[in-house]
Structure 1
Amino acid sequence: MLIEQKKTMSIGRGALLAFAIMGVCSQAEAGAIASSNTTLSNFAIGFSSPNSISFNGFSGGNASITAPPGPFGGAVSSAQVSGNGASTGTNTWVGTFFVNTPTSVSFSFSADSNLVASLTPGGVVSAANLFMTISINDLLANTSAFSWAPNGLVGGIVGGVETSDAFDLNYGITQFGSLGTTSFQSGNGLFAANSSLLNPGFYLMNISMSNSAFVSSGGLPVASVPEPSVLWLVGVGFLGFLIARRRCWY
């Protein structure tokens, strides 16, 4: 009889330990996802005195802009990453030009951006960003003649006038400290600006567009509350342990 009681007690304790381990080990895997995408279309550059311009330029990344003046199509920049790591997509266009008689430069284009930052259990942080700037520098005077970083508000431009600024093209989102998804979807928007008159001289134009994404996972488990089924199994194991103890008393 004593042997049977010891066997019953050992089974109860074993069940309790096994079910408790099941509860501890039933954590979800870590995860974080981020993506950032921007598409430009109908990109155009014009000059108020086009006959005064001698232009040379080149592009990098996936840009489809070619030597102005005229329409230049568009460009795409994207970055996606999951788990742990970072990603960057960049497009640049650089051109030099001579001005013989004072001229202003006009820019117009459409843009569509999509940012997503998501955390699942175990994810630490997820972030997505986009950036875009257009600048003109006077190379002989070594000064900035025009600087534009669209931010969704008309104004805030150096060396010119902004006429359309649909949304912020220098923007970021972050998901941190809680599970869920943060997103930004702009829809297609119009951007337009004109520089002030550029005096005769030698100039450098730089159009820079980039998207970045960053994620980190592997933190402490976020979901620490056991599921109802796990609680029931642990309860059964504990009940078996009590029964075994009761038999030992007799």
Structure 2
Amino acid sequence: MTDAPQANGLTTPTATGYPAPKFERTQTQPENPFAALIPDQHIAIIPSFTLESGVTLHNAPLAYSTRGTLSPDGDNAMIICHALTGSADVSDWWGPLLGPGRAFDISRFFVICMNSLGSPYGSASPVTNKDGNPANERYGPEFPLTTIRDDVNFHKLLLDDLGIKQVAAVIGGSMGGMLVLEWAYFGSDYVRCIVPIATSSRHSAWGISWGEAQRQSIYADPKYDDG
């Protein structure tokens, strides 16, 4: 394994013999105070990403954290998918499982967690600037609708950039479990094992109603002010 130097002085692990990462990296997001709450994460800037809806995001940030070492063959990645309100900091919500000799064994696996679109913790969302341009306003309520498939395709760009050629396991619960099921579509030649927890392939009417109740409670807050 080698460390590929970045223009801003940060380093990002990549497999031996694989081209250096092409995406720009940063650890700061001045317009988004929530990103600063997550320690030791990197933010890759994806130049262009088209959603299932047809909307294209430009200079879209993708926050992620890694633990462990990527193998020379790039085949020991373990993806951890966070739930709806989670972040890329696995130690914050599944800390007891992370470490040498534990379920997320960083002595054997290159453990990576990537923040989902729409989350306030670093990836493109309503609280990031439009097109990643500091001169622009935040997306706010104009941030486009995204899907689970959008998240997985977005994250796959980063895996390719890091030199990850095969995934040993993908693990996640709740919304994270939905991402796990979507990762399975890449096939067993790419994803060797999936561990979906407390999840389903589609929302029930009950789940949809709970989500709507939560949205309406946010809309009713006077401080929301239309986003």
**Structure 2-normalised TM-score?**
0.26
Greater C-alpha radius of gyration = 1
Q: Which has the higher helix share?
A: 2
Q: Which has the higher contact order (CA 8 A, sep 6+)?
A: 1
**Structure 1-normalised TM-score?**
0.24
